[in-house]
Amino acid sequence: MAATEVMVGRPCYEVEFSDGSTIVADAEHQWLTETRASRRSPEGGSAVVTTEQMLATLTVGAEARANHSVRNAAPLRAPDAALPIPPYALGAWLGDGHSDGARFTSETDEIPGSSPAPACALRRAGRCFTP
């Protein structure tokens, strides 16, 4: 696996997964995929293809069935640790947070109320929540 700096002025594609989530990927981004043929073959197997190559072979057959599948990453397994911020609160902050302070925006009380246990005290300030 390799990482590159953010590149600008390059052809990109919006990639939508079967769960409805989307990302924007460079035309040359490399994906480890299984094709419909490899999934049906006893040998199986995956291949590395670029976003552009995947687009060119996106569907197969007269019924235009989805050709490529990308496996979900396994969850991270790590020993328990004392964390400076509860994981759910961190996820909410990363997803809907503000870079200039410890707050996030939510239209409703659903996100701050979804934590399995009170992670930290939240104070409502308009549509923003702050610990």
The CA distance from 73 to 118, in Å, is 28
What's residue 43's pLDDT? 84
Query: Would you say 26 and 11 are in contact if contact means Cβ atoms under 8 Å apart?
Result: yes
CA dihedral 104, 106, 111, 112 (to 10 degrees): 60
Helical (H) or strand (E) element with 113: helix 110-113
Q: Which pLDDT score is estimated for 40?
A: 87
| Predicted TM-score of the model (pTM) | 0.55
Separation CA 91–CA 94 (nearest Å):
5
Tens digit of each residue's pLDDT, the chain (131 residues) = 667 777 788 999 999 988 888 889 999 999 999 999 898 888 878 999 999 999 999 999 898 998 999 988 788 888 988 887 777 777 777 877 777 777 777 776 666 666 655 545 555 555 544 55
84 burial via Cβ count (<10 Å: 0-12, 13-18, 19+): exposed
**pLDDT value, residue 15:** 92
